[in-house]
Amino acid sequence: MNDTFASYPSAGTSVSFQTGQGGLPMLAVWTPASVAHIYLHGAQVTHFQRRGEQPLLFVSAQSQFAEGKAIRGGIPVILPWFGAREGKPSHGFARLHAWQLSEIRTLPGDQVRLVLRLPECPEAAEWPQFEAQCAVTVGDRLAMELSVSNTDPARTLDLQTCLHTYFAVGGITQVEVRGLKDVGYLDALENLAPKTQTEDPMRFAEEVDRLYVNTPHAVEITDHAWHRVIRVEKEQSLSTVVWNPWIAKSQRMPDFSDDEYLRMICVESGNMSPNALTVAPGAQATLRVRLSTRPA
């Protein structure tokens, strides 16, 4: 195991600004239970690791780390739209900009909470006025809260949000996903054909790209290689995506190594079409996700 704890004391909390990959500013957060790295770019958590455990999050060795580019891995914050949109960047523009750190606070139980705000983005000019902030709480587990407020005096905000989490696993063929039995999904590999999940648990032997709808439930990822269960709990989220690009798509993605599909699984929580949100002027939408682990 890569021991990022070796030189750190096991008591107290600390937060420091560091220069991350590509020279981008990154916050390193230490708590007695864990360490986390959060880039201002995209408000993207790229690393979370509990003491004595493997890292929770996967980041591609081929990822770009540059203004205007998406980081391939960790937890991309997706808004105001999810997926492809003609002439526009995939998965919205929030992950392409450096967010602003607005708050650092210690919470009871040796947790650290950071709040980042989406800056003014040129792409937002075509949208009703809105403000977005992302709170990241680091402790024995990792919690995220993405809030979007419609600050427009008159226009309704049609919004999709997603915390597009890339989990690190010991080996995809030894992974099982539970919590989606009997849930309806749109199969992105068959032109979004509507289907219903029959497998339980779900196992992986080929490309999977499914948008589960109308599901508020938690999902668990059992990773037999690393003897770990990852629990993904969510609030105010009706959509879950499960994605692994497998071999051919890995080869097509320039910012992803050909064999990295073996070491990751995306389980993404949010509100994506057809669970897109309609946020009235003055109203706010908040998505919460909590990630925890236990031995398998």
Q: Answer yes or no: 164 catalytic.
A: yes
- How far, in Å, CA of 172 to CA of 11, rounded? 35
Give the chain as a DSSP string: ---TTTTS-SSS-EEEEEE-GGG-EEEEEE-SSEEEEEETBTTEEEEEEETTS--SB-B-TT---STTS--SBSB-EE-S--S-BTTB-TT-SGGGSB-EEEEEEEETTTEEEEEEE----GGGGGS--EEEEEEEEESSSEEEEEEEEE--SSPPEEE-EEE--EEE-S-GGGEEEES-TT-EEEEGGGTTEEEE---SSB--SS-EEEEE-S----EEEEETTTTEEEEEEEES--EEEEEE-HHHHHHH-TTS-TTGGGGEEEEEEEE-TTS-EEE-TT-EEEEEEEEEEEE-
Q: Answer yes or no: 97 catalytic.
A: no
Interaction between residue 164 and ligand BG6 (CB under 6 A): yes
Shortest spacing between CB 75 and ligand BG6, in angstroms: 12
Shortest spacing between CB 86 and ligand BG6, in angstroms: 14
Interaction between residue 268 and ligand BG6 (CB under 6 A): yes
Residue in this structure with the two tokens 């403000």, named with its chain if needed = 131
Contact with ligand BG6 (CB under 6 A) among 36, 38, 70, 75: 70
Q: Which of 164, 220, 233, 260 is catalytic?
A: 164
Contact with ligand BG6 (CB under 6 A) among 101, 188, 192, 276: 188
Interaction between residue 71 and ligand BG6 (CB under 6 A): no
Q: Pick between residue 209 and residue 220 the one whose CB is nearest to ligand BG6.
A: 209
Interaction between residue 185 and ligand BG6 (CB under 6 A): no
Interaction between residue 186 and ligand BG6 (CB under 6 A): no
- How far, in Å, CA of 188 to CA of 286, rounded? 26
Number of residues that bind ligand BG6 (CB under 6 A): 9
Contact with ligand BG6 (CB under 6 A) among 38, 243, 271, 287: 243
Shortest spacing between CB 78 and ligand BG6, in angstroms: 8
Interaction between residue 241 and ligand BG6 (CB under 6 A): yes
Shortest spacing between CB 219 and ligand BG6, in angstroms: 14
Residues 121-140 as x/- pattern, contact with ligand BG6 by CB under 6 A: --------------------
Interaction between residue 91 and ligand BG6 (CB under 6 A): yes
Active site members: 164, 268
Q: Which residues bind ligand BG6 (CB under 6 A)?
A: 70, 90-91, 164, 188, 209, 241, 243, 268
